[in-house]
Amino acid sequence: MKWLSLMSLALLLWACEGDDDPSEVSNIPDATAELEGEGGGEIWIEPLAAAILEGEQSVEIGLRGAGGAVELRLDGVTVAQGEANGEAALTLSLDTTQISDGPHRLTAHAAGIESPALDVDIDNTPPALVFEMKRLPILSGLTYLPFQLDEAYPAEVQVIYEGEVIATTDGVDNVPLSAALLPDGRRFIHLKAIDQLGREVESDPVECVVVNNGKRAVVEYIPSPVATVPEDYQSVDYHTRVMVPSEPGVKRILTWLTWDNPDWTLEFAMGQGTCPHRGITYTSEVSSEGEVIIDLAKVDLSASAQMSFSQAQREADTFPVNNDPATFGAFFGHIDPKEPADHVGQSIPIEINMVLFY
């Protein structure tokens, strides 16, 4: 029995000796062999601090078991290189100003090993902004202010009034603005665009007409929306006018005349009645700049303009009103071309707006 036991032990030891290769007796993979790869090491790019890159950037490359020359490649093209010299990390400088804006891919290479790719976005161009509103737009209720923004990575566009932000958007072509955020009358606003790197650009200001407690009147052109000087101008009435029915409670009138031809000088008069000859002229202005703006409150009327008013009408803070078109039944705007002899047989388009405030 003792002899059989010794034989069994000898056979067991002989069976265990075999080949020295551990793969013959184990399914555990060799982690060291996997790590070494083709070039005998491992390489990676450390995460960058910013999601969007600009200017000079430091890129840290991690190394384990890989040395010698290290290359930083962008979209497969070498953009920086250095020597590892046995260090566990190497920092290379990336000049993004020499790279086009937009998405790119970074990889690091050393000893025949390529790192996993790191996707980055580059933006070295500040935003460009154009406020696409014409002069003196009327803002009433909710208005969408159009703009053109050239920016790959926008954050927001703001509406600025007297240094304060009154509306914002992350949209691409307009920003909604409630007129209730502004006082009635002529107001200057502008836009500010901010990109994701915090860079700012501001538009030119635009003068707007804000209408909350009032309305834009529908004007009637007589005879048509042109200023003209006919051949027989010396013997006929050739003046253009507009008329708007008077209403109770009107405290202030804002009206403006615009035209595009700088060779014409126009006089714009405003009053009540049908025209300066058959009514009451409150004020008039002459301009060759393509624009005349009249902003007139009842309480600012001159004493001469109120000579035909009753005592009660003089004391009121609203314009008088009745059913007689020749007196207080209508507001008028009257256009008189100056130096008519220089424009005989000519005409130019005009536009007149009138807003009544209560």
In SS3 terms, 115-172 reads as: CCCEEEEECCCCCEEEECCCCCCEECCEEEEEEEEECCCEEEEEEEECCEEEEEECCC
Q: pLDDT digits over 3-23, tens only?
A: 333 334 333 333 334 444 433
Distance, CA of 94 to CA of 78 (rounded, Å): 11
Which of these, 101, 90, 111, 6, lies nearest to 46 by C-alpha position?
90
pLDDT for the residue numbered 31: 24
Which of these, 348, 291, 300, lies nearest to 136 by C-alpha position?
291
Q: Which residue, chain included where needed, has tokens 């007689």?
A: 324
Name the CATH code of domain 38-122 (choices 3.40.630.10, 3.30.365.10, 3.30.460.10, 2.60.40.10): 2.60.40.10
Residue 87 pLDDT greater than 50, yes or no: yes
DSSP assigned state of 117: P
Residue 38 pLDDT greater than 50, yes or no: no
CATH topology of domain 214-357: Jelly Rolls (2.60.120)
pLDDT for the residue numbered 15: 38
Enumerate residues 6+ apart whose C-beta is below 8 A from 166: 159, 160, 177, 181, 182, 189
Q: Quote the tokens at residue 76.
A: 């497969």
Terminal C-alpha separation, the chain: 124
Domain boundaries for CATH 2.60.40.10 within the chain: 38-122, 128-210
Which residue type sits at 348?
A: I
Instruction: Give the least confident one: 65-69, 114-118, 257-261.
Output: 65-69
Q: Give the CA count within 13 Å in the CB-facing half-sphere of 23.
A: 4
Distance, CA of 147 to CA of 179 (rounded, Å): 18
User: How far does CA 267 lie from the centroid of its chain?
Assistant: 37
pLDDT for the residue numbered 13: 37
113-114 and 52-53 beta bridge pairing: unpaired
Which of these, 142, 212, 207, lies nearest to 175 by C-alpha position?
142
Domain boundaries for CATH 2.60.120.380 within the chain: 214-357
| CATH 3.40.50.280 given to domain 128-210 | no
Length reported for the chain: 358
User: How far does CA 51 lie from the centroid of its chain?
Assistant: 23
Q: Apex CA 121: angle with CA 120 and CA 127, to 5°?
A: 165
pTM given for the model: 0.77
pLDDT for the residue numbered 40: 60
Q: Tabulate helix, strand, coil % of the chain (nearest 5).
A: 10, 45, 40
Which of these, 231, 220, 221, 148, lies nearest to 191 by C-alpha position?
148
Distance, CA of 36 to CA of 30 (rounded, Å): 10
Residue 315 CB neighbours (<10 A): 8
Residue 249 pLDDT greater than 80, yes or no: yes
